[in-house]
Structure 1
Amino acid sequence: MLVTELIKKINFNDSCVNELVYANGTVILNIDLCMWKQNEYQDGDPELKEVILKFLNSTNYNWDSEKREDEIDYDSIVDVTCEESIVKIVLEDEGVSILTFECSEVQID
């Protein structure tokens, strides 16, 4: 799936990141997705769903934060954007962390 399609389809706001890994050109985000913010949500459905996003063939990875990636502890997603294949993910906990990388394809598990 194209990253731009993913961003149009899924509302990531207020979902939380459990883990961030960058290895072998792949950015992997394990998140608890707020299902109640999605268009297809119906009363009685689970409010959260664990989702793993794999951003394939990622380059120019940059983590801008006062903490290390392995210190992520349920950080909230504030914003996810993709312009000209540059993905920007803004997280918030006690401070703001910004993840940027180039990628056009994402896999959802």
Structure 2
Amino acid sequence: MLKYNFHDSLIEDVNYIPNEAKLEIKIKLCNWMQSDYKDSDPEMLTMHMIFDGVEKFEMSTENYVFNSNEILDVIELDDRTVKIIFLTENDVKTIIVTAERVDYAIYENEQS
């Protein structure tokens, strides 16, 4: 399910649409940490992780407004479930998502 190294990347926004069983997470991806990175590539990219067929979405904090929160780790719990561990101002929080699939949309020059 996971194709990228998310460590030190930043969560910009999380948008869950329950009636569509869809979750979108906007991330500033540390492109320079990817295995296929070349010196001529941009160091940071904007990525949208788009989860479809969401069966479970749990966040260990309610009504949180994301503001470039650092990702500590993304763990694949099974072939349909991921756990995202991230920092807030005062704590470590998690997002757990179970979904049929995840797609990635990457933008080099998208504004926040």
Normalised by the length of structure 1, the TM-score is 0.84
* Contact 2:59/2:96, CA 8 A, preserved across alignment: yes
Q: Which amino acid aligns with 1:46?
A: P
Match status 1:59 vs 2:55: yes
Q: 1:32 aligns to what?
A: 28
**Counterpart of 1:108 in 2: which secondary structure?**
strand
Give the Cα–Cα distance (whole angstroms) in 2 for the partners of residues 42 and 86 of structure 1.
30
1:101 deviation in Å? 2.1
Match status 1:90 vs 2:85: yes
Any unmatched runs of 5+ in structure 2?
106-112
**Counterpart of 2:32 in 1: which secondary structure?**
helix
1:60 deviation in Å? 2.0
Give the Cα–Cα distance (whole angstroms) in 1 for the partners of residues 81 and 11 of structure 2.
20
Q: Work out which of the residue numbers 78, 95, 109 in structure 1 matches 2:72.
A: 78
Give the Cα–Cα distance (whole angstroms) in 1 for the partners of residues 26 and 58 of structure 2.
18
**Counterpart of 1:61 in 2: which secondary structure?**
strand
- Which consecutive segments of 4 or more residues in structure 1 shift more than 6 A? none
More helix by share: 1
Number of equivalenced pairs: 101
Normalised by the length of structure 2, the TM-score is 0.82
Percent of aligned pairs with the same amino acid = 26
**Counterpart of 1:73 in 2: which secondary structure?**
coil
